Structure 1
Amino acid sequence: MAQVPAGSRHLQVYHDYFAIRGGGERLVLELANAISAELIYGYRTAESYDEAAFPPAHKDLNLSGIRKVRGAASIALSTAFAQQRGHAAQADLRIYSGVAAPFAAPARDKPGVNVFYCHTPPRFLYDQKAFFREQSGPLRKLGLDVVGPLFQRAYEHAVGRMHVIVANSVNIQKRIREHLGRESIVVYPPVDTCGFAWEPQQGYYLSTARLTPLKRIATIIDAFLAMPDKRLIIASGGDQEAELRARAAGAANIEFAGWTSDEQLRSLIAGAIATIYIPVEEDFGMSPVESMAAGKPVIGVAEGGLLETVLPGETGLLLPPAPSASDLIGAINSLPPERALAMRPACETQALRFGRAQFIDNMRAVIDQALARS
C-alpha cells in the first residue's frame, strides 16, 4: 500500500505491564509519547510511573490480578493480549514490547505492519532455561517442563507474525538470530543523558541493579564484606532483598537505600566514585550509560550489552565473565577516586551515543521504512 501520511497514521504500542519504574517501561512511554501512539498494556501498579507519564490515548487491560498466578503470568497475559488482535488490526502500524504483548499481533497478511522491539527472547525459555529451572520449586519445574515447550512454540508463532524486528543491542540481535532464526535491526534504548550531572565524589561505590540472582549482587556484597574500609550503597529492591540484607548484616560499610525516586537515584549516581554493574549476560543495560552520563565510570563485566557500552580503561573496567568477589576487589582497588575522576570526560562523551534523540530518530526511521514497504 502507499505510505500513510505522517499526520494521519494510526500507531499503537503494546507493552506487557508497568510494575516498576524501570528502563524498559521508560522506553515504551517515551516512544509512545514521541510518535503519538495509543499505548495498550496489561496493568499498571502504584510503584510504576504515574498518569502524567502516559500518552493521552492509553488502554489499561486491568489485569493486575494475573500477578497472583505464580509462575504463569506470561501465559495468562499472552491470552489476554491475543484477544486484542481485533483492536490491533485497526492501526496502520503496531509496535510490541515484552513477552506477552506480541500475541496481540494480527497475521502478517492482515492490513497494517507489526514491529517487535525485542529486549530479549524470554530467558526462561532460552539462554537461562537451566537457571530458572534450578531456582524453581517442584510445581514450577513441572510447569516449565510441560507448559514451557507449548508456550515457546506459541511465542515463536507470535514472533513469526512480525514484519520487522528491532533488537535493543547487538547482543540481543545475536540471541534473536540464534533462538528465533530471524534477522533484526539494532536500535539502542534511550537514556536521558541530559538528566544526569556530575557532582563531587562522596566516598562510596554504587549498585543500582535489581536484587535478583542474575544481577550478582551477592558477589558485590561479598567483595565489600572483605573491604570494610570501602563504602557501598545498594539503591534498588527485588526478590532477593531479605536474603541479601541478611548476607550483609553487621557490615557498617554496606547500606541498602531501597527503591528510590528518579531524583534520588540521579543524586546517588552523581556523588558516587563509580558504579558497579555485573549482571549475567545483560540484554543491554541502561544503568551503565546513566552512570557515564553523570561522568562516573562503571565497574562492569565482559558479558552481554556491557561490551557495547563500557570502554575498558576509558569509561570503566570490565571484569572477566562469571567474576568472583576477588576479581571485583582487584578492580575496585585499581580504580581509586583519582583515576575514576580522570575518566569523567570520556564517560560523558560515550554516554551521548545512547541519548533519547538518537533513539526516537532511529525508531521513526524504522516506522517510516516499514510503512513505505508495506
Structure 2
Amino acid sequence: MQVALVHDYLKEYGGAERVVEVLAETFPEAPLYTAYYDLNGLGKHRDRFKNWTIKSSFLQWIPGAGRLISPLRLLAPKIFESFNLSDYDVVISSCNVYFSKAVKTNSKQLHISYIHTPPRYLYGYTTSFNYKKNPLVRIVAEIMNHFLRIVDFTVSQQPDILVANSKNVAERIKKFYRRDSIVIYPPVEIAKVTTIVRTLAKVKKSYFLSVGRLVKGKGIDVIVKTCAKLGLPLKVVGTGPELNNLQKILDREDNKTIEFLGQVSDEQLPKLYAGAIATIVASEDEDFGIVPVESMAVGTPVIAVKAGGFLETVVDGKTGQFFNNATIVELMKVLQDFDPAKYRAEDCKKQAEKFSKERFQKEIRELIKKNWP
C-alpha cells in the first residue's frame, strides 16, 4: 500500500504540524506534498523534519513566498490540484486554512482528509490576524472570502472520508460542508511526557503556566493581565507577535511575577507542566487544544475557558476547572478560590491517556483497513 501525505504549508510548528509528524511516523515511506515549506520557521523542531521527502509547489521558487501565502490563497486549490498523486493507493490530507483537501484522486484511491477545522477566517471564528482593522483590507478580504467559501464547500465534497479532530470541529463540518465526519482526536505524546517526568525528583508546584503561540485569539492577554492584577506567579511558554504588547503591559505595572520563557524544548516542557499549580488556557472556541492534555498527562490540573475543544478534554471538578468567559473578571473568580488539592494527579493522567499518540495511530490504521481496498 503506497501512502502520500498532504499538508497546507509547513512554515511554523503547531497542533496541525504535530499531527503531520505522527502521520509521517505511522507511514515512514510516505512523501509529504505541500504548497510551501520553510523548515527554519519550525524553530527547535526543525531537525526532525530535515530528512523528510517533501514535494512542494511552484510557490517554493518565488522569492518571499512565505509572505505571499495569504494573498495567494485564491490560488491554493489549483496548487493542490496540480500535484500528481496517481502512484498512491491512499492519500491523507491534513487541512486547516489552505485547501490541501483539494488534491485530485481517482476512484481507485482512498482520500482521507483530516480536518483541523474549516478555515476560521471564512466562517467568523477568531483568528490570529485581525484584518478588519483596516477598512480597505476588510472590503477586499470579505469579497475574496465570499468566493473562497464557495471553493471551500466544493473541494470539501471531494475526499472520500472527512476526519474531524474533535466533536467541536465535526459540528462545524456538518454545518458548513453538510457532510458527516469521523472524530479522531489528535495525537499527544503521553508516553514521552510521562517518561521525562518520571526522572524528576518531586517538584514544588509554585507557579501557574500558560503554553501557546502569542497571537490574538489565544487569550494570553487575559491570562497575563489577570495574574498581574492578582500578583500570581505565571510562566508563559511560546513566541509570537503579541509578545511586545504583553511585555509593555507588564512594564507599565512594573510586574515581577510573570516570566516569558519563549520557545522551550520538548524535554523542558513536561518539566514546566510538572512544576505548575495549574495550566491556564483561554483560547476563544479552540478547535481541540493539545495543551490541556499535555498538562493532565503529568498530573497537573487545567483551568480552562468553558468553550470549544476544552469541553472534550477537561473534566470539570475532576481534572480541572472551567471559567465562563475569556475575561479578566471570570478568570479572576476562579484563580482567587482555586484549590489544587481538590484534583488527583491520577485522575488527570487517566483522562490524558484517552488522547495518546498510539491511540491516534491505531484509529488511523483501522480507518484505512476498513475502507481500502
Task: Give the TM-score of the pair, scaled to structure 2.
Answer: 0.89
Give the Cα–Cα distance (whole angstroms) in 1 for the partners of residues 262 and 48 of structure 2: 24
Quick check: 1:282–1:306 contact (8 Å CA) kept in 2? yes
Q: 1:231 aligns with which of 230, 233, 247?
A: 233
Change (3 A) 1:140 1:368: farther
How many Å apart are 1:324 and its aligned residue?
Answer: 2.1
Give unpaired runs (5+ residues) of structure 1.
1-8
Any idea what the Cα deviations from partners look like across 1:31-84, whole Å, max 9, x if unmatched? 122123221222133131334446754324474633222742533544422221
Aligned residues: 357
Any idea what the Cα deviations from partners look like across 1:103-139, whole Å, max 9, x if unmatched? 54215x5431211100000010013279966644234
User: What are the equivalent positions in structure 2 for 1:65-84 lying under 5 Å apart?
Assistant: 65-69=64-68, 71-84=70-83
User: What are the equivalent positions in structure 2 for 1:1-374 lying under 5 Å apart?
Assistant: 9-36=1-28, 37-41=30-34, 42-48=36-42, 49-53=45-49, 56-61=52-57, 63=59, 65-69=64-68, 71-84=70-83, 87-98=84-95, 99-102=97-100, 104-106=102-104, 110-128=107-125, 135-197=132-194, 198=197, 199-228=202-231, 230-249=232-251, 250-320=254-324, 322-339=325-342, 342-372=343-373
How many Å apart are 1:337 and its aligned residue?
Answer: 4.3
Quick check: 2:120–2:127 contact (8 Å CA) kept in 1? no
Quick check: 2:303–2:323 contact (8 Å CA) kept in 1? yes
Task: Give the TM-score of the pair, scaled to structure 1.
Answer: 0.88
Give the secondary-structure state (helix, strand or coil) at the position aligned to 1:46.
helix
Identity between Structure 1 and Structure 2 (%): 31
Compute the RMSD of aligned alpha carbons.
2.2
Supply the AA of the counterpart residue of 1:351: A
Q: Which moved more, 1:95-104 or 1:141-150?
A: 95-104
Any idea what the Cα deviations from partners look like across 1:128-155, whole Å, max 9, x if unmatched? 2799666442342122222111122122
Supply the AA of the counterpart residue of 1:83: S
Q: Which moved more, 1:213-222 or 1:44-53?
A: 44-53
How many Å apart are 1:336 and its aligned residue?
Answer: 3.3
Any idea what the Cα deviations from partners look like across 1:137-193, whole Å, max 9, x if unmatched? 234212222211112212222111111000001110001001111100000000001
How many Å apart are 1:330 and its aligned residue?
Answer: 2.0
Give unpaired runs (5+ residues) of structure 2.
none
Quick check: 1:223–1:329 contact (8 Å CA) kept in 2? yes
Give the Cα–Cα distance (whole angstroms) in 2 for the partners of residues 131 and 204 of structure 1: 27
Give the Cα–Cα distance (whole angstroms) in 1 for the partners of residues 72 and 279 of structure 2: 33
Any idea what the Cα deviations from partners look like across 1:277-307, whole Å, max 9, x if unmatched? 0111100000000000011000001101110
Change (3 A) 1:337 1:311: closer
Give the secondary-structure state (helix, strand or coil) at the position aligned to 1:25.
helix
Give the secondary-structure state (helix, strand or coil) at the position aligned to 1:161.
coil
Supply the AA of the counterpart residue of 1:358: R
